[in-house]
A and B are shown apart, each in its own frame.
Chain A
């Protein structure tokens, strides 16, 4: 027994043991692919010819001069920004509701966390059915209530074509992203709200503050740093995401819902041009890095106590 426990008393050894899994994970699944992508980005590698010949910034210039890339880049930024606004609003409202006392709170929390806990691809297949061009249950309900169909309020057609028109397909994708990302932001904000000392909230109550004043002048300012962290998480996740559009629209109709992650995948893997695919995905990197640094600095500056 003594012999067995001896190595575990060694702080260095135990430290290394605890760190190894995380280090391996970062090195093998994040670090290596990242370095590989950088190497690819400066080369002329394709699926057909895996020789790495250095070509400088050629890929980046080619990508930048490509009109489709510019549109994809703009779409990605627009989707990310618009969805973040809704995520912040919904997450704040939900976090406030879920930190109040009411019966069935546990169950309601459980239901609302589900979109985030479900595997993305699985959830997207569900949405694919919900938004189906012909058999969408949403369309069916609208039809039954007189919003669709002959003399319908929204359209004379029997369907809205959720994923097939330029405007609706973008709205649908943003809606699904908001649906998917709101739970995580909510959980983070809930943690923030419940970390506010009860003395402060009791004090506000004795001071005569009502619900809205306490919310706007006490609670929200106090959880601002945590809100920035939540925003950062969902922004970075969303900026690099490709699963949602890959399953729902494949970037269509035309290019209206094509985002950076998907485009990089389509050019690099499906199109076989590994070098340009890598260059496309790397365009997001400096932007995300700058965003992360800016937001983390804001958060630590706003940090109170």
Chain B
């Protein structure tokens, strides 16, 4: 059952089409990640769901009710900002209690109920010992928990998260990601998480919405988006290093560096496509070797291979090798639109 239903939503800022016709259904209890490069419209989309931005056209339904013209407080959503936006002059208790007090009339709380709710939420997020502190006395990770506690205390139907992990240092981030996912699963809340970080998106999302230039490029599970990209943008945006794209006469084709391996490593080379590969440079990355070079016939298009280090194949600089890609790992794209072309239809075209 979908809890949020978005229909042909548009937001234009003068001539800039920030969000340009988005249709999206968000399911109850899912962790949906909106992924895209900066300026793709993902934050604007989220702000429209929150009610902070008025759409130019289109509709938003939350819990079956059309909320397109309702202010944020009547939508039952809450939000965690990238900066956490904690109220600097209030202690942690008052920060968490703020939405309860602000919505006291709608939610019908008395003082005791507020205290109870704040303390319960703080306990769940393990910040109950920090209730008297001011935001500036907290670490980055603690601030993030306070922001989440404040967002959760009203038991919203949707929790919106705008890059909440980007202010944490790398070590904390992996940990925070794990905790956030656990917390979402155990509270069974619907979460919409905006990020430009594909690792975060892959790790957290039940489904990922890939956006570019105000439009949805693809919706799907992390694996389906990675393995079956709908177009060249999605194919090259996900994965690090990104997919190799080579030009043919009437189409382009691509394969991921980790699928581009010396021919000898393939079990049955008859299902693979063989390339003559000239190695220009090799980077040793610990678990992998990253090989830079050129495929014969495509000397202007730098092609990368990611060879696991435990594979004992010597790769010398300025050497010529036979590399291969399994046929199923080659994706074909339309020369002009960039849309994916199925292999069968391609065969007919030849």
Contacts and interface: CB of A to CB of B under 8 A. Distances in A.
Interface of A: 197, 199-200, 202-210, 213, 217-218, 221-222, 304-305
Contact of B89 (A199, A203, A209, A221): A221
A199 B103 contact: no
Contacts of B78: 206-207
Contacts of B83: 197, 199
Contact of B81 (A199, A221, A222): A199
Contacts of A200: 85, 87-88
Contacts of B79: 202-203, 206
Contacts of A205: 51-52, 71-73
A203 B88 contact: no
Given A208-B106, A209-B98, A203 B136 contact: no
B102 A203 contact: no
A101 to B, nearest CB: 13
A213 B90 CA distance: 14
A205 B52 CA distance: 8
Contacts of B82: 199
Given A202-B81, A207-B98, A305 B52 contact: no
8 contacts: A199-B83, A202-B52, A202-B79, A205-B52, A205-B73, A209-B99, A210-B73, A304-B89
Nearest to B104: A208
A203 B85 contact: yes
B51 A206 contact: yes
Given A205-B52, A206-B50, A208-B73, A222 B88 contact: yes
Contact of A218 (B72, B81, B87, B136): B87
B34 interface: no
The 5 closest A-B pairs by CB, nearest first: A208-B73, A207-B99, A203-B85, A199-B85, A208-B103
Interface string B41-83: 0000001001110000000000000000001110001110111
B150 interface: yes
A206 B46 CA distance: 12
A301 B73 CA distance: 34
Given A197-B85, A206-B78, 14 more contacts: A202-B79, A206-B52, A206-B72, A207-B98, A208-B72, A208-B73, A208-B103, A209-B73, A209-B98, A209-B102, A210-B102, A213-B101, A222-B89, A304-B89
Nearest to B162: A199
A210 to B, nearest CB: 7
Interface string B103-132: 100100000000000000000000000000
Contacts, number: 67
A181 B213 CA distance: 50
Contacts of B51: 205-206
Contacts of A206: 50-52, 72-73, 77-79
- In this complex, the member of B77, B89, B106, B150 whose beta carbon has the largest number of chain A beta carbons within 10 angstroms is B89
Interface string B171-210: 0000000000000000000000000000000000000000
Contacts of A210: 73, 102
Contacts of B98: 204, 207, 209, 217
A126 B137 CA distance: 54
B72 to A, nearest CB: 5
B248 to A, nearest CB: 48
B102 A207 contact: yes
B136 A304 contact: yes
Nearest to A218: B87
Contact of B85 (A202, A213, A221): A202
B136 A207 contact: no
A209 B50 CA distance: 14
- In this complex, the member of B71, B82, B88 whose beta carbon has the largest number of chain A beta carbons within 10 angstroms is B88
A305 B85 contact: no
A174 B73 CA distance: 43
Contacts of B47: 202
A202 B151 CA distance: 13
A222 B50 CA distance: 24
B100 to A, nearest CB: 9
A203 B150 CA distance: 10
Nearest to B98: A207
Contacts of A202: 47, 50, 52, 79, 81, 85
A303 to B, nearest CB: 10
A8 B10 CA distance: 55
Contacts of B88: 200, 222, 304-305
A153 B292 CA distance: 94
B92 to A, nearest CB: 15
B107 to A, nearest CB: 9
A203 B103 contact: no
Nearest to B79: A206
Given A197-B85, A202-B85, A218-B87, A305 B136 contact: yes
A200 to B, nearest CB: 5
Given A213-B102, A304-B136, A305-B88, A207 B150 contact: yes
Contacts of B77: 206
Nearest to B135: A305
Contacts of B87: 200, 203-204, 218
A213 B87 CA distance: 13
A244 B230 CA distance: 75
